[in-house]
Structure 1
Amino acid sequence: MDIKRSLVLLFSSYGCFLFGQEKTIDTIFVFDNQMNRVKLFHPVKIISAEEAEKNSSNLSELLRFQSQVFIKENGRGAVSSPSFRGTTAQQTAFVWNGININSSFLGQGDINNIALFGYDQIGIKAGGGSVVYGSGAIGGSIHLNNTLDFNKGFHGSVFSEVASFNTYNNFVKGSYSNDRFSFKASGNYSVSENNYEVSDLNYINRNGNYYNTTFNAGASYKITNDHKISWQSQFFDSSQHYPVYEETGTKTKYKTQSIRSLLSWDWNKTKFSNSFKAAYTEENFQYFGSLNLPKSSGGTGKNYIFKNDFNYFLNSKWNFNLIGEFQINKGEGYQSGISSVSRNIGSVSGLLRYFATKDLRFEGGFKKDFVEDVKSPLMYSFSGKWSAAKWYDVSVNVSKNFRYPSFNDIYYEPGGNKDLKPETSTQFDMVNEFKVGDFRLTLSPYYMNVTDLIVWLPTALGYWQAYNVNKSESYGLESQLSFSKQLGNHKIRANAGYYYAKSIDKETKMQRPYVPMHRGMANIDYEYGFFKFFAQGLLNGVTYTTSDEKRSEAIDPYFLLNMGVSATLANKYTLGFKVNNLTDTYYKTVSFYPLPKRNYSVYAAINF
């Protein structure tokens, strides 16, 4: 087999839908085609839909126990934000099927207002990715991906769970496909009274109830062997009540609704592929300062996105990728000083890949954004991966990334600042992967420097205002050890990780708030015939909550343990039981809002 054909197969194995000998060699359509190329140079942790069911309370819990992301959650189901490698929530990009969906108002994603169910896989990528995924992809990115199979017939599944605190999760999914057409739809409804108690503080999570509803639908049609039209949409509705400490406290709530719809036209030939996407995303939110009164504030954001991704093999070794994108972002606030604003954003990216041998490859890229009223830097990235031996792979990644100010940062009244500069970062990381037998060890040291950090600070006039202030740097180590083995009917998978993150303000030399320096996790899965068992452990070190590292205000270390068992009959019917926080540990991820102690759930699933 010649090198060019090998590359076609290599790209195809990652879902890029190139063609060999004018004949399709892939039966799955992946909406985020770039993420699959990213895997050629960067480690990406993939969480399957089945794995997501282990942590079915919300997306915060899933990321906390199954990724390296640190999660700050203001009580179970309430406002929640992610942090990669000591960065902020605004420096994390949420990407839905290849489209950046961070809020135009906040510049981030509220994890508990993003659906958990309805995706075929969730990808976790640490490190900068602004060249491909745009603003906010500084610390890392979280990818919510859907796929469509062809020629698979009809499949369906139902998942239903009853859990502590009057919590109910229900999810249903169905799909049908033949050789030319594929369709998939799913729906989820989650609701919880969420009135857990924490005896250590004599705390009751009063007014903590929530619900959310999600509907997903997607379809793809092969017009010819070379042309495919595809569509994916998501509709989400959620309500969160914010906890109060006393029964007489003023009870508040937050409601949000989002719409995401994506149309894609893909053209694939032996030497090139082109994907044109048109997307519409909308976010609506309302805050109620009292449950019985009209909304106190709110807003509506609408985004129109057009993106073209052209990929071409110059020859058997060189591959060129050109990405162009144009967005119109519109926002209208209520009681926020943001009357009606609009911003045009354009960008062009170029990536050149060189496959020296089957064991050695390089990628270089650049990107220039054109953001209305914001001066943006030229971004770049360079990656190289070398399989030096059967037991050792090494890759190096260098990049410059950025985040432009959000609508709130610029226009909120009082406090918005129209003179803000975008945040920029330069970073370096190195991934060392060792393979011995059934063991795999990954060691990833990294360094990151961030300038023009956007923060909100109090003013002499009594309100907070956005400023570009200090510089920060983060450095540390991410490590992962995994093991997988099958002996007859016995299957075992285990992995453990240790994460060290030093993130300091360059002026004070102090650790930044809510960045634990030491964290660890471990997961084990055992399967025998129809029986399955899993355990999840999480260790979190001291977490400072103030900029002066005041120990008395810090969150103490804690260890959490979850366990679950399930039985599957006739490969269709599953009954399971889970215990969360088995050790009955008192813990919190932010000051004042403890999370639940020991709690339980029972679930049933049917596949047909």
Structure 2
Amino acid sequence: MGIKRSLVFVFAVCNLSLYFGQEKTIDTVYIFDNQMNKVKLFHKITTLSLSDIQKNSSNLSEVLRFQSPVYIKENGRGAVSSPSFRGTTAQQTAFVWNGININSQFLGEGDMNNIALFGYDQLEVKAGGGSVIYGSGAIGGSIHLNNDINFNKGFSGSFNSEIASFGTFNNFLKASFSNEKFSFKASGSHSISQNEYEVPESRNYINRNGKYYNTNFNFAAAYKIASFHQISWISESYDGNQHYPVFFESQTPTRYETQNFRSLVSWDWKKTKFNNILRAAYTEENFQYFANLEQPRTSGASGKNYIIKNDFNYFINPRWNVNVIGEFQQNKGEGEGTSGITNVSRNILSVAGLLRYITSSKISIEAGIKKDFVEGFSSPVLYSFSGKWQAANWYSVNLNVSRNFRFPSFNDLYWSPGGNPELKPETSVQTDMDHEFRIGDFKLTLSPYYIRIKDMLRWQNTSMGYWMPFNTQKVESYGLESQLTYEKQINQHYIKFNTGYIFTRSKDLEINKQLMYVPIHKVFGNIDYRYRFVRIYAQGMFNGLTYTESNEKKSDALQSYFLMNAGISGTILKKYTVGFKVNNILDEIYETMAYYPLPKRNYSILFNINF
């Protein structure tokens, strides 16, 4: 194939960063996803720190449910969970690990409850398209799991342990060491929960067979060869086990196991006029499904991805820079059991170019174009345009326009019975505009948006008696995301407030009805107060009526609900922290997926040691 011969070209293409008009050395803090700092110049990004994540330490689903505009659909606590950005689906959401897209090659999405919650230095949420930089699936938005490397910090470490309702235990240990030239970081986490909660008010529901447990390890190291050369490495392994809930004791209990491994090596070369980052990555996903808990597995699959990516950035002058990104991937998959998938593979070559005009004053512009060469498909030319105007000290506006896509997954193409090798990639065009107002310590952001998706992939029942994917659906989604933040430090008093309202209309244009599991209204809010060694926080979230069928039948819809959590903690000698949390204080009965109620009021105790 010509795509294989083009591999040599990947080493010649490159990527871009910002120009500061002086000789540059590697920063004290090195972020593996170097593009993210540039994305933040033109897009509204929700950034969550470790302390934010600890407020909702059950799983990633809870974090994003209460602290982001994303809607989370969860088949019971700790079970299969998927996100929805701006009225799109989980397949149109990209999970990005340190700059590498890690969506499953089989499912085309990521299960949020099979992605580790701890082990990352930063969790970032970006709404809106990003296929020019982050590839297939970045249509509705992307979720970024980022790690960084520090230098000249010496030795440090921390240990977190949490005991919670339903026989839940979460533990996380992290240690790091760095000097002027070398940096090393390691962490490990383990979570386990019997997870047998009851909701008698909802059809006498008991979360039978709901047990889950997972273990995750992260390692990272970096060495400065010279002031302008650095070699870095990061690796992650994850082992998870989910028991799927059953409604009656007579039902056969099932379970799902998954093992993921990711490793990334990076060579950074930074000079005054240019910088270049060459990466080689390997990711692996394995899963097994057991139709009977006590019997051998009935199906499973193993996927391996080999990635080479080069980012080159050339600084024409202090304002203009050119970024070229080249990437080659080889995706391999092998199914077993009832999946019907044999040995399959595909090669993907992509070349993207971006031109940026960046000033410290009023106007900044970025324009990008990308072409993907996906084996077996005719892929569209993608583009993006972003512009920011600082109209006044108190007001700025960002405009973003992009074309994005998603190519079919291995399951879409090869699942037996039902795989459809005639599928075409989904494409979308979209635009959004961020209006940002600053008055004192308050910041208000209003973000209207519009998305139109063509050739949307959807699995449908056929006359042959099985389901099959087709390019059938055209979807139009529009709405408003708004967010108000306030942050203030007065002597030893610190307060932080963050709230958001999201309005979403997402319609299947063939029937002019709201899509399933897309709430029209969502409101979330968080408030933190800290005085000396005491910290108090509260969270609230309202979710509006959510249809579970394509006919907008209100009798089958999930009813609106309001949830509230709160917690308090105290720190002694700056090293020891003890905390207490109450989730669902109001004892609300609610579902995010039909027939799977989530827990009523529950509690947890947290211990933390820094050393």
Given candidates 327, 347, 350, the residue that maps to 1:347 is 350
Alignment partner of 1:317 is 2:319: yes
For the residues of structure 2 that align with 1:427 and 1:18, how far apart are their CA atoms? 29
Per-residue deviation, 1:16? 5.5
- SS state at 1:452 partner: strand
Please point out which of 448, 451, 456 is paired with 1:448: 451
**Bigger CA drift: 44-53 or 352-361?**
352-361
Match of 1:58 in 2: 59
Aligned 1:6-405 pairs, distance under 5 A? 21-24=22-25, 26-201=27-202, 202-334=204-336, 335-355=338-358, 358-405=361-408
The one-letter code sitting in structure 2 at the alignment partner of 1:71 is I
SS of residue paired to 1:65 = helix
Offset, 1:24:
2.5
Which letter maps to 2:432? D
What is aligned with 1:430? 433
Aligned identity (percent) is: 64
Q: Contact 2:21–2:318 at 8 Å: present in 1 too?
A: no
Q: Contact 1:18–1:24 at 8 Å: present in 2 too?
A: no
Aligned partner of residue 438 in structure 2, secondary structure: strand
Deviation at 1:316, TM superposition (A): 2.2
2:26/2:270 contact within 8 Å kept: no
The Cα shift of 1:51 comes to 1.2
Q: Which residue of 2 aligns with 1:511?
A: 514
For normalisation by structure 2, the TM-score amounts to 0.96
Deviations 1:371-430 (A, max 9, x none): 000111000000000111000010000000000000000011111111101000000100
C-alpha separation in 1, matches of 2:564 and 2:17: 38
Q: Which amino acid aligns with 2:160?
A: F
Residue 536 of structure 1 is matched in structure 2 by 539
Cα deviation, residue 291, structure 1: 0.8
Give the equivalent residue in structure 2 for 1:563.
Answer: 566
Partner residue, 1:546:
549
Letter of the structure 1 residue corresponding to residue 302 of structure 2: T
3-state DSSP of counterpart to 2:368: strand
Note the C-alpha offset of 1:355: 2.6
CA positional deviation for 1:433? 0.2
8 A Cα contact 1:429 1:446, kept in partner = yes
The answer to which structure, 1 or 2, has the higher relative contact order (CA under 8 A, 6+ apart) is: 2
SS at match of 2:473: coil
The alpha-carbon distance between structure 1 residues 17 and 353, as it changes in their structure 2 partners (threshold 3 A), is closer
CA-to-aligned-CA distance 1:24-59 (integer Å, 9 cap, x gap): 272011000011110111111110112111110001
2:419 maps to 416
Deviations 1:77-105 (A, max 9, x none): 00000010000100000000000000000
Measure, in 1, the Cα distance between the counterparts of 2:484 and 2:357: 30
What are the superposed Cα offsets for residues 471-513 of structure 1, whole Å, 9 maximum, x if unpaired?
Answer: 0000000000111112211111101100000000011110000
CA contact (8 A) 2:182 2:222 kept: yes
Q: Given that residues 449 and 479 in structure 2 are in contact (C-alpha distance below 8 angstroms), is that contact kept between their aligned partners in structure 1?
A: yes
Aligned partners of 1:540 and 1:174: how far apart in 2? 39
TM-score, normalised by the number of residues in structure 1: 0.97
Task: Output one character per residue of 1:406-461: Cα deviation in whole Å (capped at 9) or x when no partner.
Answer: 00000111111111010000001000000001111000000000000000000011
Whole-angstrom CA distance in 2 between matches of 1:357 and 1:436: 20
Q: Is the 8 A contact 2:20 2:318 kept in 1?
A: no
Change beyond 3 A, Cα 1:357–1:209: closer
Counterpart residue number, 1:492: 495
5+ residue gaps, structure 1, are: 1-14
The answer to whether the Cα contact below 8 Å between 1:237 and 1:256 also exists between their aligned partners in 2 is yes
Taking the aligned partners of 2:78 and 2:26, their CA distance within structure 1 comes to 43
Deviation at 1:21, TM superposition (A): 3.9
Contact 1:312 1:319 in 2 (8 A): yes
Distance 1:17 1:217, change over 3 A: farther
Contact 2:324/2:353 (<8 A) preserved: yes
